[in-house]
Amino acid sequence: MVKKKPGSSIKGWLSASGYLSISDVLKVDDYFQLVFVDGSVLSVYNPFLCEGVNFADLKGCTLCEIREDEAANVIILGLDQGSIRVNVHPDAWTGPEAMALYEQGHSIVIWN
């Protein structure tokens, strides 16, 4: 298991897969997971805010982009029906990483 920081691998993952539909949303203890139709799983550990979409309605949405807004201290998961803003301010951390992407056959991508 190799950890690496996000970058071009995320763009490659999204562009190779096209836009990814969310097939399931799992609430696990104090974090949640987005499960995609290709089997990839994005775990979100830091506090987050849904904008333009309710958490209960994330299943069926499509992930279009992942970008960082350094000025606002957030990672934005751009969806076809709104967005999820993950707080990455130093005071917001609840563990060693903000998010982790697990994709079969590839290294784990860690946002830390």
For the chain, what is the mean pLDDT?
86
- Running DSSP on this structure, what letter comes out for residue 57? G
Predicted pLDDT at 112:
81
State the pLDDT at residue 13. 52
What's the pLDDT band for 2 if we cut at 50, 70, 90? very low
Span 44-57, mean pLDDT? Answer: 96
Cα 73 to its chain centre, rounded Å, is: 15
| pTM for the model | 0.84
* 93 within 8 A of 106, measured Cβ to Cβ: no
Work out the average pLDDT over 36-49: 95
pLDDT of residue 81: 94
Type of residue at 1: M
> Which sequence spans correspond to the domains of the chain?
3-111
